[in-house]
Amino acid sequence: MKIDDAILNKIGTVSELVVSQPSGITSRTIVDAKHTNITLFAFDAEQTISEHITPYHALVQVPQGEIKITIGGEPKVVKSGQTILMPKDIPHSLIAKEKSIMILTLMKEKEEN
């Protein structure tokens, strides 16, 4: 398991950990484990992630800003303080409607013994 030691056991804000760049997207993986991956994203307004599919359920949290996420062709707006659980294997994309921060937690299924 890989953990970002720079933030381990330290109090801080998400906006201190990942800072948006003008006309860009910044990401920082803070946990990369066998069954979980947590990545922070900072988006400048109007930045997009094109449609893709992931084999994992994904919990999206938006502590700052507003992000429109389209899941299986259905648009949903996730605002500051809100969250959405996206199902695996469904196409999804997003656009930051304003400068935004997103916490993405990918949950990988445990292997059956």
pLDDT category of residue 111 using cuts at 50, 70 and 90: low
- Residue 10 vs residue 25, higher pLDDT: 25
- Residue 111 vs residue 81, higher pLDDT: 81
Q: What percent of the chain has pLDDT over 70?
A: 97
| pLDDT tens-digit readout, 45-75 | 999 999 999 999 999 999 999 999 999 999 9
pTM listed for this prediction = 0.92
Instruction: State the Cα–Cα distance between residues 47 and 25, nearest whole angstrom.
Output: 7
Q: What percent of the chain has pLDDT over 90?
A: 84
Instruction: Write down all domains in the chain, each with its CATH number in brackets.
Output: 2-107 (2.60.120.10)
Q: What is the pLDDT of residue 97?
A: 98
Instruction: State the Cα–Cα distance between residues 64 and 1, nearest whole angstrom.
Output: 28
